[in-house]
Structure 1
Amino acid sequence: MSDSDRDAASSAAVLDELFATIESRKEALPEDSYTASLFTHEKGENAVLEKIGEESTETILAAKDDDLDELTYESADLVYHLLVLLAMKDLDLDDLREELRERF
């Protein structure tokens, strides 16, 4: 495997690593974890849905402003909160991958 192939594989693994961390926080619910707080928040799922709405709007505004750094930052926030929602619904990245594969 070439260095560029290893870099690509490592970059692709970041979503798996992030999702594994989200699942771990969902299970352990450490008190000092923002992720765990999303699973225990009194508004529960609605809190995450509100964050997805907020991050979607911020992503759109960054794209319209052609602010690529902000677009990258807000896109990461959006993806993170989407992964939390998937975990809340007992879905995982394989479910998402399968759906995406079926589309092309």
Structure 2
Amino acid sequence: MSRPRDGDLSPAVWLPRNTLARSYIGQHRDNEAVTAFLATEANDLEWIVHRAGISSDGPSRGSLRRSARTFSVATFRDCADYSYRTVTDRAAVHTADFSRYG
């Protein structure tokens, strides 16, 4: 539920972040500060931020793919698989994307 770099949250994400997930607001702000730092101070490095929605441990529910706009709440296993695949994807460098099933 962290805001994308230089962007805004959609109303569908903003509302739960500021109501149901309000107790995690410090974590969201930390995540946003890290992304801002990477974009401004570490642009000479290769970096990727996975803005994952993680629900629980459990069996795979499918394959996640990068998405700039929509997200899926996924299992730890699927997020780990996505992260592993993303570090080898040259097109993912300097991104801070969601992931979704698709």
Q: Same fold (TM over 0.5)?
A: no
| Higher RCO by CA contacts (8 Å cutoff, separation 6 or greater) | 2
Rg larger for: 1
Q: Which structure features the higher share of helix residues?
A: 1
TM-score (structure 2 length as normaliser)? 0.29
More strand by share: 2
